[in-house]
Amino acid sequence: MSEWKQKRFWKEVTVADTEGGFAVELDGRRIKTPAKAALVVPSRAMADAIAAEWDAQTESVDPSTMPTTRSANAAIDKVSHQHGEVSDMLADYGDSDLLCYRADSPAELVARQAESWDPALAWAEEVLGAKLAPRSGILHVAQDAAAVARLRGLVHEMSAFQLAAFHDLVSMSGSLVLGFAAARDWRPAEEIWQISRLDELWQEEQWGKDDEASATAELKRLAFMHAKRFYDFSS
């Protein structure tokens, strides 16, 4: 038996100003989230992107082609109700940030990590007010408590929509610092993504590409780029 899919029933998709932001309407009926909450988003640009996704549906609705709608639903139905928990979970990356755990050999990898990652840590110290220290090896060594607390406070300041995007920026890159760097336009998002993959790219150079790993990395890259776009819509 084929899986049931929602059919397109609407002819016109429009965006409407409403209390608290912008809503998307299908033939004049406002869209709701899966949890039946009003889908009200903070910017016209986000509402326009959601409207375009709904307008692009043909006979059947394909949620996989509606990333902005999915992210908005997550912000409203999930993140807004668990803001503190999500913020703390992401802030915890600061005490074990990818950029702080360095190889002790070979020399070329050590140099590459320093060249790519040191500027990001320097940016975090200057712009975010948090100095994180690199160390060699994989054993956890706690970072300065004041620096971690500073980053935690910045995460908690985000809106639910920003936090929904920030979740993917951090989890896809493995770095709280790079998540902030992408959100705050330190460098282009594509460049930041490549910085996060330095170790994987090194391994590919040594041993060749693995097709399955490359496919997984591409899915994560697309998720990272969408998260950056959604964060910009939220700000």
Cα→Cα distances 27→47, 52, 55, 152, Å:
15, 14, 11, 43
**Domain at 178, CATH number:** 1.10.3580.10
- Tell me, yes or no, whether 154 and 204 share the same domain: yes
- Tell me, yes or no, whether 98 and 134 share the same domain: yes
Of 77, 104, 127, the residue that ends a domain is: 77
What digits encode the pLDDT tens for the residues 99-143?
999 999 999 999 999 999 999 999 999 999 999 999 988 788 899
Instruction: Quickly tell me which residue has 């150079």 as its tokens.
Output: 205
Within 8 A by CB and 6+ apart from 50, the residues are 24, 31, 39, 41, 66, 68, 69, 72
What digits encode the pLDDT tens for the residues 130-176?
999 999 887 888 999 999 999 999 999 999 999 999 999 999 999 99
- Tell me, yes or no, whether 25 and 132 share the same domain: no
Q: In this predicted structure, what is the pLDDT of residue 1?
A: 36
DSSP SS3 for 186: coil
- Tell me, yes or no, whether 70 and 158 share the same domain: no
87 part of a folded domain: yes
Asked which of 55-59, 67-71, 154-158 is least confident by mean pLDDT, the reply is 55-59
Are the C-beta atoms of residues 25 and 62 closer than 8 Å to each other? no
- Tell me, yes or no, whether 68 and 88 share the same domain: no
- Tell me, yes or no, whether 67 and 87 share the same domain: no
Residue ranges making up the domain that contains 48? 13-77
CA dist 149 and 106 (Å) reads 34
Domains contained in the chain, number: 2
Residue 7 DSSP one-character state: B
Total-model pTM? 0.94
**Domain at 57, CATH number:** 3.30.2180.10
Of 77, 98, 125, the residue that ends a domain is: 77
- Tell me, yes or no, whether 60 and 149 share the same domain: no
- Tell me, yes or no, whether 182 and 112 share the same domain: yes
pLDDT at 54 over 60: yes
- Tell me, yes or no, whether 115 and 164 share the same domain: yes
Write out the two tokens for 161. 């929509």
CB atoms within 10 A of CB 129: 13
8 part of a folded domain: no
